[in-house]
């Protein structure tokens, strides 16, 4: 998950909790204020009624039908002692004039007259308007809560995206960066010191990596070039020794072993030198190359060379795979894949080659099981040591593909090793 999505999700969660607490508190406070105002009005009305009653003025004992209603009756001392002197409650009140009940806020007030009697006064105020107000406050609280949450999330996304834009620019540059290739310079102006430090660190380490990479290429190239002549001299001298009739059979066998070792070393040296040349772009000449034609040219040679293994080959051409590249490198790419398919096959096995207009797919039977896709294209990696193998064949394939914008991939499907070159 991206940093932006994680940050927005967590921030939204926190804001949702905070705003929920705020909305509930706001609603509760408003309702409490409404109740307080209603209760104050009821207290004022109750005091007015009590004062009139104590003065001996006429006080009706039944509801008047007005908005503020009251009802007064005499109660026993025991009743007065068992109940609160002042009590508030919400309940349904019957309106005689309307013949129906309505919700109301009721104040019950028990007081004692001058002559020692106990009176219970009920004062009520219909709160239909209060319910409407409560509903309006609730709906507006929900609306404001949702609107505020959306606005805050959008603003935070916008602000966060603007603030971390230099990080995305740096990540995009790192994704496109290829060691040894012509990379564009990092242009990422920012006022944030941490991002400036990241940019500087990325530039510094990329420059250092390029220096080390160039040094390694030069060393391998120079070393491989310097080794060619001594290896050739050694092989020539061994050939001269083999012709010496004074050698015993044991001595001749040892010389042949040394020669095979030198042959392997020579092939390894040539492969390393070739890799350096590919990396250095020393194959500038290009032409339109048909992989179909190359396969039909080289496949019979490999069938002859590996005839003793009795490996069958099936070639399916549903299209023509053509690309602009150096013909020698194209031939090397295909021959390395063909050799790999023969060498890592089983006796009496099969190789299947499928050619389309966009890809060349070569699969071979195997009893080795799946290989590690992250290792097989690495230099000097051997899935299983084979005599004469340098461990550079698939590395050469990948290097050639990279040079010309092709991709090579590996998969293990149905007991087969599958290599695919795609543009």
**CATH number reported for the structural domain that contains residue 74 in this entry:** 3.30.450
Of the candidates 149, 351, 380, the one whose C-alpha atom is nearest the C-alpha of residue 271 is 380
Report residue 207 as tokens.
Answer: 């420059």
- Answer yes or no: is 176 within a domain: no
- 13 and 149 inside one domain: yes
CATH number at residue 217: 1.10.287
Is residue 344's pLDDT more than 90?
no
- 36 and 88 inside one domain: yes
Q: Which residues contact 67 (CB under 8 A, 6 or more apart)?
A: 125, 126
Q: What is the pLDDT of residues 238-293, one digit of tens each?
A: 777 777 777 788 887 888 888 777 777 776 667 666 667 666 666 667 889 999 99
Q: What is the pLDDT of residue 62?
A: 47
Is residue 158's pLDDT more than 90?
no
Is residue 382's pLDDT more than 70?
no
Is residue 221's pLDDT more than 80?
no
Is residue 421's pLDDT more than 90?
yes
Region 397-417: mean pLDDT is: 88
- Answer yes or no: is 179 within a domain: no
Range of the domain at 348: 287-422
Q: What is the pLDDT of residue 87?
A: 86
- 339 and 267 inside one domain: no
- Answer yes or no: is 56 within a domain: yes
Q: What is the pLDDT of residue 223?
A: 66
Among the ranges given (193-207, 291-305, 338-352, 365-379), the one the predictor scored with the smallest mean pLDDT: 365-379
Q: What is the pLDDT of residue 3?
A: 67
CATH number at residue 355: 3.30.565.10
Region 111-118: mean pLDDT is: 83
Burial 102-112 (b: 16+ CB within 10 A, else e): eebbbbbbbbe
Whole-prediction pTM value? 0.47
Q: What is the pLDDT of residue 149?
A: 78
In a 3-state reduction of DSSP, which class is residue 319? coil
Is residue 51's pLDDT more than 80?
no
Give the model's confidence band at 192: pLDDT under 50 very low, under 70 low, under 90 confident, else very high. confident
- 116 and 206 inside one domain: no
- Answer yes or no: is 166 within a domain: no
> Is 73 or 264 the better-scoring residue by pLDDT?
73
- 57 and 106 inside one domain: yes
- 273 and 303 inside one domain: no
Give the model's confidence band at 19: pLDDT under 50 very low, under 70 low, under 90 confident, else very high. confident
User: CA 379 to CA 405: how far, in whole Å?
Assistant: 20
Q: What is the pLDDT of residue 388?
A: 47
- Answer yes or no: is 168 within a domain: no
Sign for the pseudo-dihedral over CA of 52, 35, 120, 78: negative
In whole angstroms, how far apart are CA 258 and each of 199, 239, 390?
Answer: 53, 11, 17
Q: What is the pLDDT of residue 275?
A: 67
Is residue 363's pLDDT more than 90?
yes
- In the chain, the number of structural domains is 3
Is residue 90's pLDDT more than 60?
yes
Q: What is the pLDDT of residue 286?
A: 80
Q: What is the pLDDT of residue 338?
A: 92
Percent pLDDT > 70 in the chain is 81
Give the model's confidence band at 127: pLDDT under 50 very low, under 70 low, under 90 confident, else very high. low
Give the model's confidence band at 38: pLDDT under 50 very low, under 70 low, under 90 confident, else very high. confident
As a residue count, the chain comes to 423
- Answer yes or no: is 171 within a domain: no
Q: What is the pLDDT of residues 290-343, one digit of tens each?
A: 999 999 998 998 898 889 999 999 999 999 999 998 888 888 899 889 988 998
In whole angstroms, how far apart are CA 220 and each of 214, 216, 217?
Answer: 10, 6, 5
Of the candidates 329, 337, 340, 299, the one whose C-alpha atom is nearest the C-alpha of residue 316 is 299
- 109 and 209 inside one domain: no
């Amino acid at each position: 998950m991206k940093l932006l999505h994680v940050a927005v999700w967590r921030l939204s969660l926190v804001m949702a909790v905070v705003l929920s607490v705020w909305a509930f508190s706001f609603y509760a406070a408003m309702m409490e204020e409404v109740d307080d105002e209603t209760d104050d009005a009821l207290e004022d009305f109750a005091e007015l009624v009590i004062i009139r009653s104590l003065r001996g003025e006429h006080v009706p004992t039944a509801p008047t039908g007005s908005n503020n209603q009251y009802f007064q009756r005499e109660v026993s001392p025991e009743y007065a002692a068992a109940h609160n002197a002042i009590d508030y409650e919400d309940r349904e009140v019957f309106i005689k004039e309307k013949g129906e009940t309505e919700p109301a806020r009721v104040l019950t007030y028990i007081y004692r007259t001058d002559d020692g009697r106990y009176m219970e006064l009920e004062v009520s105020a219909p709160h239909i308007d209060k319910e409407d107000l409560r509903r309006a406050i609730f709906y507006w609280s929900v609306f404001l809560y949702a609107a505020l949450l959306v606005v805050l999330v959008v603003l935070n996304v916008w602000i966060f995206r603007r603030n971390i834009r230099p990080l995305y620019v740096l990540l995009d540059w790192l994704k496109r960066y290829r060691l040894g290739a012509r990379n564009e310079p990092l242009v990422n102006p920012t006022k944030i010191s941490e991002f400036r430090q990241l940019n500087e660190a990325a530039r510094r380490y990329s420059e250092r990596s390029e220096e080390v990479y160039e040094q390694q290429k030069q060393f391998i190239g120079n070393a491989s070039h310097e080794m060619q002549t001594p290896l050739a001299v050694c092989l020539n001298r061994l050939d001269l020794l083999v012709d010496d009739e004074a050698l015993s059979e044991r001595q001749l066998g040892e010389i042949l072993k040394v020669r095979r070792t030198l042959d392997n070393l020579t092939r390894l040296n040539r492969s390393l030198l070739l890799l350096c040349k590919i990396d250095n772009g020393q194959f500038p000449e290009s032409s339109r190359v048909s992989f179909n034609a190359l396969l039909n040219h080289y496949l019979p040679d490999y069938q002859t060379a590996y005839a003793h293994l009795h490996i069958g080959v099936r070639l399916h051409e549903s299209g023509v795979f053509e690309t602009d590249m150096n013909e020698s490198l194209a031939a090397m790419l295909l021959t390395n894949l063909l050799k790999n398919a023969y060498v890592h096959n089983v006796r009496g096995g099969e190789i299947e080659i499928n050619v389309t207009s966009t890809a060349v797919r070569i699969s071979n039977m195997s009893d080795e099981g799946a290989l590690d896709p992250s290792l097989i294209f690495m230099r000097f990696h051997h899935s299983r040591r084979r005599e004469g193998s340098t461990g550079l064949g698939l590395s050469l394939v990948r290097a050639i593909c990279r040079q010309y914008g092709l991709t090579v991939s590996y998969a293990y499907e149905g007991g087969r090793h599958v290599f695919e070159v795609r543009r």
